[in-house]
Chains A and B, each alone.
Chain A
Amino acid sequence: MKFRKRLLSSLLIGVLMLILAACSSDSGGEEGKSDDVDAEKSSDQKITIFQSKVEISDQLEALAKEYEEETGVEVEVWGTTGDDYFQQLQIRLNSDQGPSIFSLQNVTEAERLKSYVHDLSDEDYVEHIAPGMALELDGKVVGIPYGVEGFGLVYNKDLVSPEDVADYESFVKTLEKFKAEDINGLGLAKDAYFLIGHIINHPFSLQEDFYSYIDQLTAGDVTMAETEAFQEFGKFMEAIKENTPSPLDVSYDEEIGDFAAGKSAMIHQGNWAYGMISDFDVDFEIGMLPLPLQGNDKLAVGVGSNWAINAEKDEAEVQAAVDFLNWLNTSETGHKYIVEEFGFVPALTNIEAGELDPLSQDVLDASNSGQTIAWSQSYFPAGIVPNDFTPAAQEFFLSKDMTGQEFIEKLDAAWKNAVK
């Protein structure tokens, strides 16, 4: 009996030891690994990239493979689903499992991740960044733009000509005409940015100085409801609601698919959509037009996302990440990928644009001729589009009798909620 008891207790201790050993060996292993890295050449270095653009995931992985072949530095690309990128990033950073390179959309996000962003000001290629396109925080460059992007009305040249959507009257007339022909005049999609996030840019960007306008809005000195551009924006949204099928049923894929099939005459999208449009056999020409809010004749052009480096990583990893971005932005292979594989309109002046798809060409033309309005969304309170604007827009599209003006008042309330 006594023997068995001892057997049991030793068994018990054995199990506990095993558990403890399992726990400690884990962390021990990692320590050992990082020691090795320090000891050996940097060619054993590994960097991780977590970026927000779903569209370029495959291409980026191919690029990573090429980089690894060329330099021996292992590059791991993590996948994302897109919309909640910033939240996913935050979770990873908090659990100390952050990537070495991540994306920042705008200065509001950079502000929040202040302690994580590595100062890139000293890199050579920074001077090539197109004027006003670098992501700066406190005078330091913390993000390298992916490329410039633009959005507006992507239209089917067989169905629409530019004078059809030159101002409010012609815009409404065009929508009504298409409604009668059973064609969707203007397609939106239910995803936060494709429903409201991008289109709401226009009334903001048409303000004389949208930075100070946004500050005033936050301070409560002005409201959207009493601003002319927004009042007209409300009318535009009303016209869209009345004359097109509800966007809340439509996914991004369907929005693009309907357009490519000729079921929609226009969609509110950016040049990034071309990749998907070209997956279909499109037998008509396409182009991009400005949303004619207050007679606006300029495309909204800005930087969709920026590469940033995680400064909290150890020195060797930060250096490896810097080397990677350096390579991406200066080497021939890097340029080839940016332009041809990613299909970006380069934001660095030392990169030849090469042959662009028609939408990107329109964006580049607008950008070159200065026919652009800024992306005011870069200065919006963080997370306002999915958290506050989207529910308001859903409500607007769901209730038949909500007017554009009431919608703008909802947006005012949403803004207050986001900055409280």
Chain B
Amino acid sequence: MKSSKNRLWYLLFVAPLVLIFTTVVIIPFVMGIYYAFFQWDGIAANPKVFVGFDNFQKLLTDTRFFKSAWLTTLFTILSVIAVNVVGLIFAMLVTTKLKTANAARTMIFMPYLIGGLILGYIWQFIFTDVFKRLGEMTGFASIFFNWLMDPQYALYALVFVFTWQMAGYVMIIYIAGIQGIPEDVIEAAKIDGANGWQRFRKITFPLLMPAFTISLFLTLSSAFKVYDVNLSLTGGGPANSTELFAMNIYNEIFGYGNYGIGQAKAIVFFLIVAAITLTQVYLTKKREVEM
């Protein structure tokens, strides 16, 4: 009796979301798989030709796709590390008894509220104009130059801005995790004479595992899927050196008008992201300790 009533309540709240999710995610996804088997230029009125697995085969010879795959991987590795390290450090700082902790939290979280597009444009201005001027003024021209004009540094600039955006968000998750750690455990450790580093290594870190699971998952998947910052900050340039997965797919579809191949890429992309994030969740879940 009770459980069936609960189920109805769940249904009441879940139904609208399921409906929305189905229309904007599930249905387009299934249609996307369907289109991956066609040769089509993406214009509704033009003919679609069924080509089977040809589109997937073509991917194997697409060097630009592989290059963007490698860049995306590099970007993801760098960003996941940077975002989580910075986010965790922020979280540790703002959970201390600093007077400015609350203000700091708000300020660090703020970039996440600004859309990636706008953030990208703001930083583009900073890199092109402010950095250049800083370099001229301070003489540190080897650090302060227009990063976006250097094929290698443009990717680092992307990592930098992405970290700037995401670190505040994972900080919130880590704060929740840190606050969930009971005071008495820490106190007991203190009495036993554990120093700060030992307390972090042996108590905070293992007990934070659930927070790591979530944060790593979030940063991994959003770093893989990044598009907005990529578009507004570098636009894939210079010379395609920052064309990440999502942008490569977009360009294939709308730049070259190869809808089928683009969709095939998108599916491969989906499988890769799913495989990597699921593995990560499985691995970190195993390391979570029960209190």
Residues of B within 8 A of A (CB): 1, 4-5, 8-9, 11-12, 15-16, 19, 41-46, 64, 128, 132, 146, 149-151, 236-240, 251, 254-257
Q: How far is the CA of A8 from the CA of B251 in the complex (A)?
A: 49
Query: Is A231 an interface position by the 8 A CB rule?
Result: no
Question: Secondary structure of the A side of the interface?
Answer: helix
Within 8 A of B (CB), among A70-103: 84, 87, 90-91, 93-94, 96
- How far apart are A410's CB and chain B's nearest CB, in angstroms? 9
* Of A11, A16, A114, A387, the contact of B251 (CB 8 Å cutoff): A387
B residues less than 8 Å from A387 (CB atoms): 251, 255-256
Is A19 part of the contact surface with B, judged by Cβ < 8 Å? yes
A417 surroundings in chain B (CB, below 8 A): 64
Q: Is the CB of A398 within 8 A of B42?
A: no
Is B19 touching A94 in the complex (CB atoms < 8 A)? no
- What separation, in Å, do the CA atoms of A392 and B41 have in the docked complex? 24
- What is the interface of chain A, defined by CB distance below 8 A to chain B? 1, 4-5, 8-9, 11-12, 15-16, 19, 84, 87, 90-91, 93-94, 96, 112-116, 246, 248-249, 312, 382-383, 386-387, 390-392, 394-395, 398, 417-418
Q: How many A-B residue pairs have CB under 8 A?
A: 82
Residue of B nearest to A8 (CB): B8
> How many Å lie between the Cα of A15 and that of B15 in the bound state?
9
Kindly state the separation between the CA atoms of A386 and B5 in the bound complex, as whole angstroms. 59
Q: For the complex, give the distance between the alpha carbons of A395 and B154 in Å.
A: 13
Given A1-B1, A12-B11, A19-B16: A112 in contact with B41 (beta carbons within 8 A): yes
CB closest residue in chain A, given B9:
A8
Question: Cβ of A391 and Cβ of B5 under 8 Å apart?
Answer: no
Inter-subunit contact B151/A398 (CB<8 Å): yes
Residues of B within 8 A of A395 (CB): 238-239
Q: Which residues on the A side are within 8 Å of B251 (C-beta)?
A: 387
Q: Which residues of A contact B239 (CB under 8 A)?
A: 391-392, 394-395, 398
Residues in A neighbouring B15, C-beta threshold 8 A: 12, 15-16, 19
**A12→B12 contact, CB < 8 A:** yes
Q: Is B46 a contact partner of A249 (Cβ separation < 8 A)?
A: no
- Residues of A within 8 Å of B257, CB to CB, are 112, 382-383
Q: Are B8 and A12 in contact (CB under 8 A)?
A: yes
Q: Which residue of A lies closest to B237 (CB)?
A: A394
Q: Is the CB of A15 within 8 A of B5?
A: no
- Report the minimal beta-carbon distance from A114 to chain B, rounded to whole angstroms: 7
B19 and A383 contact, CB distance less than 8 A: no
